[in-house]
Structure 1
Amino acid sequence: MSSMYRILCLSHDPAIVIEHPEFHSGSNGRELAEAVVLRGIEGHKGCDLLIGRYSYPLIEVGCPDRTREHVGGYHPHHTVWVDAIWLKLLYLAQRAPKDSPERQLAERAPMPGCWTPERLHCLRTELDLAEGTTQ
């Protein structure tokens, strides 16, 4: 199955998809997208950038090593990739009532620091979650 990789800018709310450049899996798309994020993108220097893997819809999100300056987590020398469905579940659990089992589990989830409530909130449109979704 062919995938397309696009850069996501989380310095906007909701996050924006940077249409160009886009990268395809058949031509080292993942590696090229990671290299572009590490170098930076014109007009987005200093922005909080992630990589989206699309096979429409979004199926995976990558947090490159360079984003450690934006979040509490640190994962040197590689990009952390997470399935979009897990990010949806984490988003919903993070917004569950404070004493609920879902919220408590989200707070203990062994996820890299990449996936803070603020970052997932910016990704809500790409994750196909309705505005105001709490459950």
Structure 2
Amino acid sequence: MRALAAEARRWSVIARVRELRVRRRQTALAEARRVADAARAEREACEARHARHAAQRADLLARCTHGFADSGLWRSALVQHRLRDGQLVAAVGTAQSALAHALVECGRTRTLLQRETLARDDAKKRLRELAARLREEP
């Protein structure tokens, strides 16, 4: 009887510790999701900046053909525009990479949460079984 009661106390402590681990993993998952959402928003913003930048190209090309005096100025503006295009494409790539990393981290955190949840449920099940055995013993 004493051994059974001691084992029940031990599993009670284990169940509480595992519950705390589950809560910690839930918090970590919520944070990982916030990071992923922020990365997704950043990628969308970068794509929008790139789309606006690409829309300006047609206007610059049209201005390059008007008049001899201004055409050199507009051509240099077009060169600067093309240089900026590379920077924007790189920014979109960086944002996409950050999003992919955040999604991987989110998946890893979700897997860890599932493991901790299963361990907690197992500890609670063992505790319930021990409590039932304690009630049955004289």
| TM-score bin (small chain) | under 0.3
- Higher relative CO (Cα under 8 Å, sequence separation at least 6) belongs to 2
Please report the TM-score for the alignment, with normalisation by the length of structure 1. Answer: 0.22
User: Which structure has the bigger radius of gyration?
Assistant: 2
Structure ranking higher in helix proportion = 2
Please report the TM-score for the alignment, with normalisation by the length of structure 2. Answer: 0.21
